[in-house]
Structure 1
Amino acid sequence: MTLALTQVLHAFNARSQRRSIFTGRLFTNVWLWGAVTACLVLQCAAVYLPLFQRVLQTVSLDPGDWLLIGFCSLLPVLLVEVRKLIGRAG
């Protein structure tokens, strides 16, 4: 879950090598948001729907698991943002 969510979130960083994702342009790409939503729905289906749990051998996640997954998935996004900030300053 962490690796998949990291890749999904990194899509926002990949929009620009220099511009931060935390600009007013974050919500301008409706296709990206649609793809991110679809990926999140599929990820949740993989861990919560019994058929997918059997096929993929997954288990349901509790809120603590989601906190850890979210934290670990956001770290690369933040690191790329720091790199962009340094690149713009230098």
Structure 2
Amino acid sequence: TLPAIALGVEPVEPGIMKKKPRGRKSNFFSGGVASSIIYQGILEGILVLGAYQFGLHVGPHVGNAAMQHADALTMAFLTLGLIQLFHAFNSKFIHKSIFRAQTFENKWFNGAILISALVMAAVEIPFLTKIFDVTELDGMQWLVVIVAGFLMIIIVEIIKFFERKAARK
């Protein structure tokens, strides 16, 4: 929630007034937004399910089916949350790369991401694991969660790169 609110005070993209206005018949889903929503949603699902599957086969509870399942659910939950935090950076620019200086200029947004990440990491605090009904993850499991979350940025950036390249032709 905090990153979404902070995106509301995001400065406009540089050069926005040099672009042609959208047509009268265009809507929110025009200009590649609809296809981006679809493929990015599918990608999120694949990454979360991948983390879940990975969680069923690695970790300190291999051999204990109930705990393996609990670990896998925790990994899926945290992967989804982390993907949302990382993907919030992708959402700042539909077609432009996030690897630019303007990506990190909004201190409110950066702070919101940091606070949200700390809240997610709080699932490692023993009494909170009971409240959230999650398990504590080991280092390998956290690595899978972080890599899966970061893959969202990498894959979307690769697709944006090819979209920009195709648009220039």
**Global fold match (TM > 0.5):** yes
Q: Provide the residue aligned with 2:101 in structure 1.
A: 24
- Give 3-state SS (helix, strand or coil) of 1:36's partner: helix
Q: Which structure has the higher relative contact order (CA within 8 Å, separation 6+)?
A: 1
Q: Tell me which moved more, 77-86 or 9-18.
A: 77-86
CA distance in 1, matches of 2:111, 2:101: 18
Percent identity over the alignment?
31
1:70 matched to 2:142:
no
Structure 1 letter corresponding to 2:101: G
Q: Provide the residue aligned with 2:88 in structure 1.
A: 11
Unaligned runs of 5+ in 1: none
| Selected match of 1:57 from 104, 108, 133 | 133
TM-score of the two chains, using structure 2 as the length reference: 0.50
> Cα offset for 1:69?
0.6
- Give 3-state SS (helix, strand or coil) of 2:85's partner: helix
Structure 1 letter corresponding to 2:151: L
TM-score of the two chains, using structure 1 as the length reference: 0.90
Which structure dedicates a bigger proportion of its chain to helix? 1
- Give 3-state SS (helix, strand or coil) of 2:113's partner: helix
CA distance in 2, matches of 1:75, 1:44: 19
> Cα offset for 1:11?
0.3
CA distance in 2, matches of 1:62, 1:30: 32
CA distance in 2, matches of 1:83, 1:61: 32
What are the superposed Cα offsets for residues 13-52 of structure 1, whole Å, 9 maximum, x if unpaired?
000011111112232011111111111111011x222221
Larger radius of gyration: 2
Q: Provide the residue aligned with 1:33 in structure 2.
A: 110
CA distance in 2, matches of 1:85, 1:14: 15
Unaligned runs of 5+ in 2: 1-77
**Count of paired positions:** 89
Q: CA RMSD in A?
A: 1.2
CA distance in 1, matches of 2:87, 2:104: 15
